Structure 1
Amino acid sequence: MARFLKIADIMAQTGFSKSFIHAEIKRGNLQTAKVGRLRVVSHGAAAAWLKSEPMEPVATAAIEADKAPDLMAILGRLDQMIEILEDIRARAGDGAR
C-alpha cells in the first residue's frame, strides 16, 4: 500500500479541482512533500486537511441559499473521505507491526 497520495489521487477521491488543491498547498493548509519532481501528500496530512475548517468551496456554498443541497453533498463526500483515509491509515498501521 502506498504511504503517500498524489495530487491526482486527492482530486479523484474528493472531487476538488487541481487549482483548489494547489491553492490550499500555497496557503499552507495542506502539507506536502517532494519525491523527485512529484509532490505527494501523506495519508495523515490528507485526513487532517479534510477535517480542517473552513474549506473555501464549502464556505462559499454555505453563503448561497440555492447551493444548500450542494453543501450537503460536499459534506457527505468529505465525511466519506475521512472514513476512507482513517481506514487506510489503520490498515497501514496494522501491517507495520
Structure 2
Amino acid sequence: ALLGAASIWFEPIAWGAVLIAVVGRAFLSWKQRVNDNAAPFYFSKRNQGLMVLGIIPNTPAADLKLEIGEVITKVNGIEVKTVSEFYEAL
C-alpha cells in the first residue's frame, strides 16, 4: 500500500509494487502447497470422492466394514464428490 501511494509521486515505484505482489502471490501458493503436503491425509484436498473419517458402531457403515481412510467415489453407481451428492445418491 505504501509503494502504491508513493507511486503517485514517482511512477517507477508502481512497477516495484507489481513485482512484489507477483512474487508474494507465488510464495503464498508455494507455501500453501507445502502445508497441504505436510498435513495428515484426511486434511488434504481431494478431487474425487469422500474420505471416511470415522465409523459409528452398530451402523450400516460398520456392518459394511468400512475403514477409516477409505475413499468413497461411487454410491449406487453415481459418482460423488460432496456430502450432498453422497446423500442424494443414497
User: What TM-score comes out, normalization by structure 2 length?
Assistant: 0.38
Larger helix percent: 1
**Which structure ranks higher in relative contact order (CA pairs < 8 Å, sequence separation ≥ 6)?**
1
Rg larger for: 2
